[in-house]
């Protein structure tokens, strides 16, 4: 039986990846320090003989007994509210954590896929963003701790590939949504759903003209699985190129939720907030035969059902 280690397994993406690999017949080893992850995301797997969990911080030495065939490195704070609160941990998991897991992959002769991000493009001057674009990142700005951690992650992964001939894969993930997102995540979709369900003002930064592109989690997981199993070692964008402004997205959420008290409130744009974000997925289409299948209207309905349960169970707790 093939064995796969998934770091960040109790997080939003990691838990969905654990489900997928269990469904594919793998033995899954989940690892998480629970800094931003939640065990309830994977508690349904605990009774399975093909799943085990390690409560561990990958920024420290990582040991997994026995054979490993694949490693997926998804451990990291991923939303601005998290990495602004935990800047050192964010840099450490991107640098030390990636180094430790590359070393483990080398020792086990395992193929490793690392989770990078569209944030490596910073506030882009090229639109849409292709993998060949080097980005426009402020290394000393507030978002630099995440952006540069992921840029280093890519650099050291390529170094291990070129120097040690390690089997490596790099995915650049664009905005993704779906069940198991944290209500207090701080990103646009969890904030909008939570605020609309409570009948509060939906916080739109700036004039709301900045754009994002939202990919449903099932589509992303399919792309990641295909990339891991491919022979391609350079970075690949995965995301939905269906671009929408934040203001339009807020209005869409208000219509979907249907709470008459929900409305938009405007606040100043944060420093270095990207004005545009849209993936060019030509490479994924060509190499993986992949493109998103779930329309936003369908994905949002599935996500709303989850947020209704989460938010209404939280009572008066605020984001």
Assigned domain for 129 exists: yes
Domain count, the chain: 2
93 and 205 both lie in a single domain: no
Domain region containing 150: 3-176+215-238
Assigned domain for 31 exists: yes
Q: Which residues carry out catalysis?
A: 146
116 and 202 both lie in a single domain: no
8 and 74 both lie in a single domain: yes
CATH number for the domain including 249? 3.90.25.10
Assigned domain for 317 exists: no
* pLDDT surpassing 70 at residue 177: yes
CATH number for the domain including 157? 3.40.50.720
225 and 259 both lie in a single domain: no
Assigned domain for 184 exists: yes
* Sequence-ordered list of residues with C-beta below 8 angstroms from that of 269, at least 6 positions apart, any chain: 205, 206, 210
Q: Which residues of 198-232 are buried (b: 16+ CB within 10 A; e: fewer)?
A: bebbbbbeeebebbbbbbbbbbbbbbbbbbbebee
Q: How confident is the model at residue 200 (pLDDT cuts 50, 70, 90)?
A: very high
Q: What confidence score (pLDDT) does residue 184 get?
A: 86
Kindly state the percentage of the chain with pLDDT values over 70. 98
22 and 48 both lie in a single domain: yes
Q: What is the pLDDT of residues 21-78, one digit of tens each?
A: 999 999 999 999 999 999 999 999 999 999 999 999 999 999 999 999 999 999 999 9
């Amino acid at each position: 039986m093939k064995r796969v280690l998934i770091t960040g397994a109790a997080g939003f993406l990691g838990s969905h990846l654990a489900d997928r690999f269990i469904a594919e017949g793998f033995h899954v080893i989940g690892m998480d320090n629970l800094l931003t992850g939640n065990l309830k995301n994977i508690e349904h797997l605990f009774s399975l003989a093909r799943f085990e969990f390690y409560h561990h911080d990958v920024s420290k030495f990582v040991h997994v007994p026995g054979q490993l065939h694949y490693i997926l490195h998804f451990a990291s704070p991923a939303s601005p509210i998290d990495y602004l609160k935990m800047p050192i941990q964010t840099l450490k998991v991107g640098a030390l954590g990636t180094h430790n897991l590359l070393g483990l992959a080398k020792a086990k002769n395992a193929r490793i896929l690392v989770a990078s991000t569209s944030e490596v493009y910073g506030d882009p001057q090229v639109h849409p963003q292709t993998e060949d674009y080097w980005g426009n990142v402020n290394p000393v700005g507030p978002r630099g701790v995440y952006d540069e951690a992921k840029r280093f992650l890519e650099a050291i992964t390529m170094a291990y590939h070129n120097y040690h001939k390690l089997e490596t894969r790099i995915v650049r993930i664009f905005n993704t949504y779906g069940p198991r997102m944290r209500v207090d995540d701080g990103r646009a979709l969890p904030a909008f759903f939570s605020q609309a369900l409570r009948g509060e003002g939906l916080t739109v930064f700036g004039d709301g003209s900045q754009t994002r592109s939202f990919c449903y989690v099932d589509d992303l997981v399919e792309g990641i699985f295909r990339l891991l199993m491919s022979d391609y070692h350079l970075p690949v964008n995965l995301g939905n190129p269906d671009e929408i402004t934040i203001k339009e997205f807020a209005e869409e959420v208000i219509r979907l939720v249907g709470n008459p008290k929900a409305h938009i409130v405007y606040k100043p744009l944060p420093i270095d907030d990207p004005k545009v974000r849209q993936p060019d997925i030509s490479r994924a289409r060509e190499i993986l035969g992949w493109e998103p299948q779930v329309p936003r209207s369908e994905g949002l309905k599935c996500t709303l059902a989850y947020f209704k349960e989460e938010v209404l169970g939280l009572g008066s707790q605020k984001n």
